[in-house]
């Protein structure tokens, strides 16, 4: 097998060298052809043939100008505006005038065009149209006036001017090359409702999540790209057109294709400003919160269109900034406790639980849930976060800056359950060493997406599988009523989970932890703070 892979790699390298050589050769040929073409056109333009063409064009212009003058003189002779005005004045000065004035007026004109009408003036009035009076002229003028007004009014009633495209501010990822791809744009098109079950939300606040920083480095890029191609990249059905328009706006600021910009943000809170015709559970003005999975267009923008079945009422008694810190993070913590660890209010009592990374957004919630359900909680955190961890309910605090964490855990009693919320500092195998027999380790930080490491040979197969799965799950895209699992195995914050979290917040059992609040123009500082060791809980960006 290794020999086969070795030969394949050799052939691929040879193919790459051949392609590079072909590209360079083609570029040289293109440059040579361009030089020859430029020299040819220069020679043609400066030659005798080009001079003859220019002289012919000048003669043609002079001939056309002369003909235009003749046409103008002929038109003046035919129309005779001064004579026409004198006849109109004569008509208005007399109470009743025979149609003889018509023959007098038009005989010269018709005589020039149709010579056989020269004897029109000698015909009797009865052979013409009949009598033409001042009263008839007035009624005719009024008819033209009212007819014109009616036409204008009818045209205005039918005319529907295109609605002006409104713009919004958003924090986006302009490419998959790390923190430098982060940007704040002010002219992203505002989404509009395209389905009767959708809701337009004015975002008041959104929080920075760990997965947002990973998205800037390419996390989930293959899945996101393919879902975008299948128009399933967002709960907003018209996000495809929005992103395409935004690419034109941002084309001078990033190296991108139509997959960018990617709006960041996994959770938010805001006010409903418009609803679809089939929305039943919400009204304009309701305060709501919701979250979005990693492959979806995010919430860190001024307006978001979402479906009714992913939105829940915001907890009463808390501000938008506090509420925005909980939907996605709270869903991750709830899933870790209830679904993965199998804990609840009855089964948690008396268990010894370790939350590694108690100052992380998920860790702050896990400490409170485990304490609320009767568990004995220990946690690891920095010295700065120690008072916060103790206030949230941690009985033991292991300070990470005072020696090796594993050595500190070795001298302590084992745990029934360990929640690892910090990536890289403590491996899964190391956590298992500190568990009691039958204990479990639950990891809450974003796991690796397998499709991100697929080579170009596997991606067509993956794309085909994705198409089949999208079709097979087309009737199951609504999140699970309890835990909100998407067809791709990741979490989608569901209204059922959000309602349970809201009830805990309203009765004071769960306290969201907000560390710092930034404005959209300071998004880069917000991401830097959220990724530092000094951060405690969630970092929020305020849009109002």
Closest CA relative to residue 543, chosen from 520, 521, 525, 515: 520
Torsion angles phi and psi, residue 206, rounded to 5? -140, 150
Closest CA relative to residue 425, chosen from 343, 533, 328, 270: 533
The mean-pLDDT minimum among 93-97, 107-111, 291-295, 501-505 falls in: 107-111
pTM of the model: 0.65
- Determine how many CB atoms are found less than 10 A away from the CB of residue 61: 10
The CATH number of the domain holding residue 203 is 3.90.180.10
Cis peptide bond N-terminal to 160, omega within 30? no
Torsion angles phi and psi, residue 426, rounded to 5? -145, 120
Buried b (16+ CB within 10 A) or exposed e, 285-313: ebbbbbbbbbbbbbbbbbbbbbbbebbbe
Closest CA relative to residue 470, chosen from 228, 237, 221: 228
| Average pLDDT across the chain, whole number | 78
Residues 321 and 341 occupy one common structural domain: no
Assess if residue 106 is contained within a domain: yes
pLDDT digits (tens, 9 = 90+) for 426-441: 888 999 999 999 999 9
| Cα 514 from Cα 530, distance rounded (Å) | 11
Closest CA relative to residue 491, chosen from 290, 289, 308, 303: 290
pLDDT at 199 exceeding the cut of 70:
yes
Helices (H), 253-385: 320-323, 327-334, 361-372
Q: What is the dihedral of CA 262, 266, 267, 273, to 10 degrees?
A: 20
Assess if residue 32 is contained within a domain: no
As given in the structure block, the two tokens for residue 427 are 């491996």
At 236 the pLDDT is 42
pLDDT at 131 exceeding the cut of 70:
no
Residues 287 and 362 occupy one common structural domain: no
Q: What is the mean pLDDT of residues 346-356?
A: 95
| CA dist 355 → 116, 332, 348, 395, 508 (Å) | 109, 14, 14, 11, 21
Residues 310 and 413 occupy one common structural domain: no
Residues 284 and 356 occupy one common structural domain: no
pLDDT digits (tens, 9 = 90+) for 371-428: 999 999 999 999 999 999 999 999 999 998 877 889 999 999 999 999 999 988 788 8
Q: Could you tell me the pLDDT band of residue 76, with boundaries at 50, 70 and 90?
A: low
| Cα 529 from Cα 514, distance rounded (Å) | 12
Residues 289 and 180 occupy one common structural domain: yes
| Cα 193 from Cα 198, distance rounded (Å) | 6
Residues 322 and 342 occupy one common structural domain: no
The whole domain housing 385 covers: 330-447
Q: How many domains does the chain have?
A: 3
Q: Could you tell me the pLDDT band of residue 344, with boundaries at 50, 70 and 90?
A: very high
């Amino acid at each position: 097998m290794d020999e086969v892979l070795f030969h394949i790699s050799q052939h691929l390298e040879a193919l790459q060298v051949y392609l590079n050589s072909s590209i360079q050769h083609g570029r040289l040929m293109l440059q040579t052809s361009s030089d020859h073409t430029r020299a040819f056109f220069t020679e043609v333009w400066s030659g005798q043939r080009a001079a003859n063409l220019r002289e012919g064009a000048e003669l043609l212009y002079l001939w056309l100008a002369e003909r235009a003058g003749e046409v103008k003189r002929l038109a003046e002779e035919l129309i005779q505006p001064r004579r026409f005005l004198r006849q109109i004045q004569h008509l208005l000065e007399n109470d009743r005038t025979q149609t003889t004035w018509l023959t007098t007026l038009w005989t010269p004109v018709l005589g020039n065009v149709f010579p056989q009408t020269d004897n029109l003036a000698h015909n009797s009035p009865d052979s013409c149209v009949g009598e033409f009076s001042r009263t008839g002229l007035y009624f005719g003028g009024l008819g033209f006036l009212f007819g014109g007004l009616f036409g204008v009014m009818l045209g205005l009633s039918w005319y529907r001017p295109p609605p002006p495209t409104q713009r919004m501010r958003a924090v986006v990822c302009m490419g998959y090359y790390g923190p430098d791809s982060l940007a704040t744009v002010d002219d992203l098109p505002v989404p509009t409702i395209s389905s009767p079950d959708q809701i337009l939300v004015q975002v008041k606040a959104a929080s920075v999540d760990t997965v947002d920083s990973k998205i800037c480095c390419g996390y989930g890029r293959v899945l996101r790209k393919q879902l975008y191609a299948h128009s399933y990249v967002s709960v907003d059905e018209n996000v495809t057109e929005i992103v395409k328009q935004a690419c034109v706006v941002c084309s001078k600021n990033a190296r991108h294709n139509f997959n960018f910009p990617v709006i960041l943000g996994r959770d938010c809170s805001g006010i409903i400003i418009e609803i679809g015709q089939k929305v039943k559970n919400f009204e304009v003005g309701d305060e709501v919160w919701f979250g979005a999975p990693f492959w979806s267009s995010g919430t860190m923008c001024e307006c978001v269109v979402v479906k009714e079945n992913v939105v829940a009422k915001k907890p009463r008694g808390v501000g938008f900034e506090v509420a925005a810190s909980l939907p996605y993070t709270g869903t991750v913590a709830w899933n870790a406790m209830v679904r993965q660890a199998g804990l609840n209010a009855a089964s948690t009592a008396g268990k010894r639980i370790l939350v590694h990374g108690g100052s992380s957004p998920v860790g702050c919630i896990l400490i409170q849930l485990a304490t609320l359900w009767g568990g004995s909680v220990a946690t690891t955190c920095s010295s700065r976060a120690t008072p916060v961890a103790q206030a949230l309910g941690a009985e033991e605090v292991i300070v990470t800056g005072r020696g090796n964490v594993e050595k500190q855990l070795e001298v302590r009693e084992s745990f029934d359950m360990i929640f690892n919320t910090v990536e890289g500092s403590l491996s899964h195998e190391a956590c298992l060493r500190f568990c009691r027999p039958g204990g479990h380790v639950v990891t809450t930080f974003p796991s690796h997406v397998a499709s991100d490491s697929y080579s170009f040979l596997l991606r067509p197969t993956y794309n085909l599988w994705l198409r089949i799965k999208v079709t097979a799950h087309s009737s199951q895209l609504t999140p699970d009523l309890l835990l909100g699992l998407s067809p791709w195995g990741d979490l989608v914050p569901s209204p059922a989970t959000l309602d349970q979290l809201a009830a805990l917040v309203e009765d004071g059992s769960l306290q969201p932890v907000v560390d710092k609040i930034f404005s959209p123009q300071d998004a880069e500082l917000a991401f830097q703070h959220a990724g530092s060791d000094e951060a405690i809980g969630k970092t929020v960006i305020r849009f109002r």
